[in-house]
């Protein structure tokens, strides 16, 4: 049966989430273990998706490291002091392991809750180094990330140091989630689509590979092969890594080359074309267009069936959206999509 889950499935489209969040700021919710766990579990209970994605935010590692950042409603992450010089980079605080305690506790609570729902796997979540760096340099959201791209070319040494810091911060954050019980890891690059292939491979890919190196060595016992019949030793599998980016159709192969096992594909490129660019040998995730979710059901169904059909060109396919669930989405539509995908694959 084809697995299906949705990016941003935990959160603003659910009435139970909105009720739970009343009076609590976004980053405070992310760092409250009980609250983050409950929010993560809500869509699994409602939609019966095949995986949970840990409720967090791209800038959580920045906050845990001591960077003055907040999420402003209606605007997004905003930093008190942008990072734009080599001295700014040198002053960035290191993310201490003890600071990750609320995240570790939140993951552990979530894994326990998922076991009660039928051992649904949990996917750890972190923002990719370029996206973190873009927020740090811009000081907030940006349409073109011109300041970040300018620093990349104008001061390569400062840029390299910033990317190394971001890679270690987000890699440490992701590793903590996996060690606490997450079964897979997703690195999410919101802004990589602003880059040329040359800029990505030269100035960004090494940092993404560095971030993933924090989890690349982690493994788990294969539940289908507890022991090797010849050596009678436990069979270990690497923790799967998903790499997703927005507007990254031209970067797919380079994104895979940084050390990912699965490539998430956004809605801008047909899934079979994405698989072709990856040599038809890489598992893919995606890529239902979120704009369809508010269309009449026959239109939604036809689109989902097309995505599933195009996904057959890849060695395996995790059905998902090509970006996050819009806040105005009717949750009932997501539940019907899960039922449809399971019915098609069954």
Q: How far apart are alpha carbons 135 and 219 in whole angstroms?
A: 32
Torsion over CA of 22, 128, 67 and 77, rounded to 10 degrees?
Answer: -40
How far apart, in Å, are the Cα atoms of 253 and each of 77, 262, 269?
29, 11, 14
C-alpha atoms less than 13 angstroms from C-alpha of 173 in its C-beta half-sphere: 31
pLDDT of res. 346 = 73
Residue range 175-231, pLDDT digits in tens: 999 999 999 999 999 999 999 999 999 999 999 999 999 999 998 777 666 555 665
Contact 327, 292 (CB under 8 A): no
Residue indicated by tokens 């972190």: 126
Residue 8 falls inside a structural domain: no
Whichever domain contains 294, its CATH number is 3.20.20.210
Which of these, 272, 209, 274, lies nearest to 247 by C-alpha position? 274
The residue-averaged pLDDT of 104-133 equals: 96
Q: Residue 142: is its pLDDT beyond 80?
A: yes
Residue 146 falls inside a structural domain: yes
H-run or E-run covering 317: strand 317-321
Residue range 22-35, pLDDT digits in tens: 999 999 999 999 99
Residue 128 falls inside a structural domain: yes
Residue 47 falls inside a structural domain: yes
Q: How far apart are alpha carbons 326 and 101 in whole angstroms?
A: 30
Of 16-20, 74-78, 307-311, 330-334, minimum mean pLDDT range: 74-78
Contact 151, 137 (CB under 8 A): yes
Contact 303, 270 (CB under 8 A): no
Tell me which residue range forms the domain holding 178. 15-345
**Count of Cβ atoms closer than 10 Å to residue 332 Cβ:** 11
Residue 1 falls inside a structural domain: no
Q: What is the mean pLDDT of the chain?
A: 95
Residue 329 falls inside a structural domain: yes
Q: How far apart are alpha carbons 11 and 237 in whole angstroms?
A: 31
Alpha carbon 346 to its chain centroid, in Å, reads 27
pLDDT of res. 237 = 79
Q: In sequence order, what E strands does 236-312 have?
A: 236-238, 241-245, 262-264, 284-288
Q: How far apart are alpha carbons 123 and 243 in whole angstroms?
A: 12
Alpha carbon 269 to its chain centroid, in Å, reads 19
pLDDT of res. 221 = 76
Contacts of 135 (CB under 8 A, 6+ apart): 58, 59, 62, 69, 77, 79, 141
Residue 211 falls inside a structural domain: yes
Torsion over CA of 311, 313, 318 and 323, rounded to 10 degrees?
Answer: -50
Q: Residue 78: is its pLDDT beyond 90?
A: yes
pLDDT of res. 233 = 65
Which of 52 and 73 is assigned the larger pLDDT? 52
The residue-averaged pLDDT of 295-319 equals: 98
What confidence tier does 345 reach under pLDDT thresholds 50, 70, 90?
confident
Query: What are 209's two structure tokens?
Result: 């590979």
DSSP secondary structure of 209-256? HHHHHHHHT-EEE-TT-SS-TTT----EEEPPEEEEETT-GGGHHHHH
Q: How many domains does the chain have?
A: 1
Residue 3 falls inside a structural domain: no
DSSP secondary structure of 99-166? GGHHHHHHHHHHHHHHHHTT---EEEEEE-HHHHHHHHHHSS--SS-HHHHHHHHH-HHHHHHHHHHH
* Beta pairing, strands 284-288 & 317-321: parallel
Contact 3, 318 (CB under 8 A): yes
Contacts of 273 (CB under 8 A, 6+ apart): none
Query: What are 91's two structure tokens?
Result: 């002053």
Query: What single DSSP character describes residue 4?
Result: B
Q: Residue 232: is its pLDDT beyond 80?
A: no
pLDDT of res. 227 = 55
Q: Which residues are catalytic?
A: 8, 12, 21, 57, 135
């Amino acid at each position: 049966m084809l697995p299906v889950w949705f990016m941003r499935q935990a959160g603003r489209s659910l009435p139970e989430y909105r009720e739970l969040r009343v009076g609590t700021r976004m980053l405070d919710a992310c760092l409250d273990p009980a609250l983050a766990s409950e929010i993560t579990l809500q869509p699994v209970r409602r939609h019966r998706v095949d995986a949970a994605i840990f409720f967090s935010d791209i800038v959580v590692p920045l906050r845990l490291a001591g960077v003055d950042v907040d999420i402003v409603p209606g605007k997004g992450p905003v930093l008190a002091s942008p990072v734009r010089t080599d001295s700014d980079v040198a002053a960035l605080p290191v993310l201490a392991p003890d600071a990750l305690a609320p995240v570790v506790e939140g993951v552990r609570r979530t894994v326990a809750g998922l076991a009660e729902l039928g051992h649904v796997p949990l996917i750890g979540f972190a923002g990719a180094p370029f996206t973190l760096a873009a927020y740090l340099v811009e000081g907030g959201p940006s349409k073109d990330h011109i300041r970040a791209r300018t620093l990349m070319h104008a001061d390569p040494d400062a840029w390299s140091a910033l990317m190394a810091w971001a890679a270690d911060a987000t890699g440490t954050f992701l590793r903590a989630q996996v060690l606490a019980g997450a079964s897979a890891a997703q690195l999410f690059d919101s802004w990589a689509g602003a880059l040329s292939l040359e800029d990505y491979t030269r100035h960004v890919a090494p940092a993404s590979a560095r971030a993933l190196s924090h989890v690349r060595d982690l493994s788990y016992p294969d539940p289908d092969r507890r022991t090797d019949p010849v050596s009678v030793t436990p069979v270990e599998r690497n923790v799967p890594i998903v790499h997703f980016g927005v507007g990254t159709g031209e970067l797919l192969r380079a994104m895979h080359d940084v050390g990912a096992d699965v490539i998430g594909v956004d809605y801008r490129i047909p899934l079979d074309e994405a698989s072709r660019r990856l040599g038809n040998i890489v598992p893919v995730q995606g890529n239902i267009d979120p704009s369809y979710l508010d269309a009449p059901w026959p239109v939604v169904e036809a689109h989902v069936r097309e995505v599933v059909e195009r996904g057959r060109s890849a060695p395996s396919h995790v059905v998902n959206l090509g970006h996050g669930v819009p806040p105005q989405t009717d949750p009932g539509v997501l539940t019907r999509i899960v039922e449809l995908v399971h019915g098609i694959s069954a």
